[in-house]
Amino acid sequence: MRFVALFALPVALIAGQPAFAKGCIRGAVVGGVAGHMVGKGHGKLGAVAGCIAAHHHYGRQAKAAAKR
């Protein structure tokens, strides 16, 4: 039960943010390929990590562009 709560909270926080789909999709593709190359079963984990990393990167770029 504790595992479900630890998993559901970060997912809910991420889902509440505005999506930068282009960055997420690009990151998921790159992360999925990299995870697949690492070993069996790591493709999905790599895709999730890539999506989160790209989402963060494009969010920073959007904030920097808004300040200009």
- SS3 category, 40: coil
Residues 12-60 have pLDDT tens digits of 666 656 655 667 888 888 899 999 898 888 988 899 899 889 888 888 8
* pLDDT at residue 56, rounded to an integer: 87
Neighbours of 21 (CB within 10 A): 11
Q: State residue 34's pLDDT score.
A: 92
Q: What is the predicted pLDDT for the residue at 23?
A: 76
Query: CA 6, CA 29: separation in Å to the nearest integer?
Result: 26
pTM metric for this prediction = 0.63
Tell me the average pLDDT across 54-67: 87
Tokens 């504790």, residue? 2
Q: What is the pLDDT of residue 15?
A: 64
**What are the φ/ψ torsions at residue 39 (nearest 5 degrees)?**
170, 175
